[in-house]
Amino acid sequence: MFSRRAVSKLTTSAPAGFSRRMASTKSLRETLKEVIPAKQEQLKKLKAEHSQTVVGDVKVENIIGGMRGIKAMLWEASVLDPLEGIRFHGLSIPECQKQLPTAPDGKEILPESMLWLLLTGQVPTTEQARELSKELAEKGELPKFVEDLLDSLPTTLHPMTQMAIGVSALNHDSAFQANYEKGMKKADYWTHTLEDSLSLVARLPALSARIYRNVYKPGTDLAAVDKNLDLVGNYSNMLGFGDNKDLTEYLRLYIAIHGDHEGGNASAHASHLVASTLADPFLSYSAGLQALAGPLHGLANQEVLRWQLNMLKELDGKVTHSDIKDFLWKTLKSGQVVPGYGHGVLRNPDPRFIALQEFCDTRPELSSSPLVQLVKQTFEVAPDVLKEHGKTKNPFPNVDAASGCVLYEYGLKDFKYYTVIFGVSRALGCVSQLVWARALGLPLERPKSYSIDALEKLIKSQ
């Protein structure tokens, strides 16, 4: 169980509209009831006073380039700065590592405490994080029909497809859908969205672990949800790695800092878009998982790992900076990209990558690993090579440059499963936004589109 901290934490770096007060033992629901009215009033004032204020210009390249860079989405949980990286309600990753509660047997952020921060804008006390852990554990078991559904799927079906199917099926018990059909008030939308969101997060470990067991360890026993463990403690245990405390700590860190990355990424945007139709969180996040399964979004860490292992094999394990440089150029000249480098928004090294590297530096078994050391050495060489190559806007590593390699070293070597762990993580940010979208009454998302002919006509008319 979680130990109590002697001193309560003050909420820090809270955005405008959030109260600053000594953290207490208020529940998550009580906290949200306190902060939502202030945020609703802030949005109402913004709409009344600044609805016609221009915040950016749309160019033809934005329209035909996947809407990249267009400032056109409200997302409360986090803001991604190209130079500073991600901030969760104003807190950087190092600040979160210092302030957010940890497990009693570890030092890394509890994903439950990150979920609390994303939902409320406030740093929870250890007691509040503990209570949320207990609630999620109580809700963590899968309905029998979902277990049967997952067990019926062919083991050759991609784990991400199975995850999306399982999450969609959970909508059978959606509180939002049931109450919407009864005719609930709009003011109550967020409360039922919250209940579904917590149920979804709670059940993801059991759902994801069952997929892992079915695909990679068929016939083995699957541990039950332990009501005394935190979310990742249960996940690691059900995966069969409960005795590996270092892997459990790594998963806590990875899932917490990878839980949200503003709303413009494909999985977050897909969840937000589907939720704007008033689909429940299960259906909405299932759509996000489908987006996450694409090679340009969620599969990057396994591509990095394959590339790094190929380098180790080709160089026979004896790697110098000169060898890495040659291998990088070989990759680029073959027409491939260097996996794990570059980012759609970031223009500096990803703070998540730095956090994972620092984790590796504190573990002797990782510091001595040729694979993990290769990740570090590649970071020392690749940026200069990519700058010289001249075709990469951001020559620095993103989180995927390190994440899969650590999983591999700790014995979780099933590449196709890595994105499922990403899916467990990204739920934290997506469901937080779903709650706020309903609390703020955000409308159906419906951008305007143009055909090529219509776009050319519009350009000529100007």
Tell me which residues are annotated as active site.
297, 343, 400
| Tokens standing for residue 319 | 């790697």
424 near 205, Cβ under 8 Å? yes
**What phi, psi does 102 have (nearest 5°)?**
-115, 175
160 near 252, Cβ under 8 Å? no
Helix (H) or strand (E) holding 106: none
Which amino acid is residue 164, in one-letter code? Answer: A
Helix (H) or strand (E) holding 398: none
Number of Cβ atoms within 10 Å of the Cβ of 65: 11
Helix (H) or strand (E) holding 78: strand 78-81
Decide: helix, strand or coil at residue 102. strand
| Tokens standing for residue 23 | 């953290």
**Which neighbouring-strand residues pair with 397?**
341
**Which neighbouring-strand residues pair with 102?**
109
Helices (H), 153-280: 159-169, 175-182, 189-216, 231-239, 245-257, 266-275
Which amino acid is residue 149, in one-letter code? Answer: L
In the chain, % helix, strand, coil (3-state, to 5) comes to 60, 5, 40
DSSP 2: P
Residues with Cβ within 8 Å of residue 48, at least 6 apart in sequence:
none
**CA–CA gap between residue 218 and residue 70 (Å, rounded):** 46
